Chains A and B, each alone.
Chain A
Amino acid sequence: MKEQTIEALNKAIEALDHNKVSWVNKHLVIDLHEKATVLLKSVEHFEDDELQKAINASQEFLEDTKDVITKLNGDV
């Protein structure tokens, strides 16, 4: 589960590239990129209960950002 989450987060971080969007939207993509980075670091370094919390939060984050990532991968 940990490895899968790390992989999914890495993909999300790669997709959340502000260069793909226009200037008025860049800060929103950067915000999501920063959040994904914090979650990735948490999953990589936490243990036990904290790790589980981080994985749950990451799953939720990935679910919420699914549409955005799809759109960004389509190079909107």
Chain B
Amino acid sequence: MDLFSKRYTILVNDEPIELSIKNNKIRNAYFMDNRMTIELSEDIIKQIQTYPSTVINADKFDGNAEFTKAISKMMSQQLDLAILRNDKTTLSRFARSGLVGDDKTADFLQSINNPTGARKLLINTVDKTNTIFKVLKLDRFLDKLKEKIADTKADAFLQAFQQDQFNKSVGYDSKLHLNKQLDTELVTLASNFLKNHNIEVFDAEKVEDKQSEELFMQTALRNGFLVDDAKIAFHQTLEKNQISKYGTIEDNLNLIEKLKDNISFLEKQDAMKNKSLKDFSTISQDMTPVEKIDVLVKNEEYLNMNEAQKLRIENDVIYDDVPITDEYLNNIDTSSADMYVGGYQEFNYNDDRLKQSKSNQHQTNQSL
């Protein structure tokens, strides 16, 4: 694992492309001082990393169509962007670079946009031929082709072509696709595939799961289904399996609510016996103080208490709304009686002092 990105320079017609690579992935790519996106395979990235120098001439990759395609596409995007933005600095740099070698006229922009020029002609032709392949339903066509040829070189090329199609396919969205009607044969195929491969969950980060997804898409294509439908069928069946096993999240939340209601109902039912003070607490939650007194005076635990404890309970629970917790009940058992007895003693003491005071007053009166 790399701690830092390493910088490499690829020279194309003396124009540098700056790449910073970390963990065999391109982190940043700069061309003509603009940040760009370049997609290169791991194989090419490794070749760049193992090259003895960090400055590499693009000639080294002569004959590598994948490299040439990626770099050319990036440059083409840069050029289109510069034309759209009328970025004269970049356009003049392109004009001087020799990267746009053909169709040279006095006006660079005019030559680029010339309808009979090589660039416009190529763009239009690529568009037209895309339509031919769309009509052919390329996914099925390629797969049939793959089965028929034993040419490993062409097979690898077709594999890459097909992979490209997979990557372009629609992303699964539960809200949009869970209830989408699909061919029953495709759904059965997905169901059997998941069962046979023992797949219950899908993690997009896991290589194995991605491989399983691709394997199913290949199987579906071989059976004449489209890439998008195959992907949806895979994830839709997986999600439906999960729902039938565990229910939807909404179902589960509703179930939890119901269970809570049931528990609360059972607790209340049990509390109706009004034996303990906790029972009283449960029953009397929504009662007025007057109603609470009616229930409290029938409570077994309350009836078995001494007068001091009763008094404290009445004050606390009926008038001050003190919640009846275990801690509170323990306090009642141990301290309240003493406290109230203490209270009487205090009162008695005061009473004695009062008597003493009265007696003193009487004596004083007598002496007077």
Contact = CB atoms under 8 A, between A and B. Distances in A.
A24 B12 CA distance: 11
A50 B126 CA distance: 23
B154 A37 contact: yes
B132 A26 contact: no
Contacts of B312: none
B76 to A, nearest CB: 5
Q: Is the interface of A mostly helix, strand, loop or mixed?
A: helix
A23 B61 CA distance: 13
Contacts of A30: 65, 68-69, 72
Contacts of B100: 22-24
Interface of A: 18, 21-35, 37-38, 41-42, 45-46, 50, 53, 57, 60-61, 64-65, 67-68, 71, 76
A15 to B, nearest CB: 12
Contact of B118 (A38, A42, A71): A71
B129 interface: yes
B149 A25 contact: no
B128 interface: yes
B125 A24 contact: no
A5 to B, nearest CB: 14
Contacts of A25: 72, 76, 102, 118-119, 122
B362 to A, nearest CB: 121
B68 A46 contact: no
B121 A67 contact: yes
B73 interface: yes
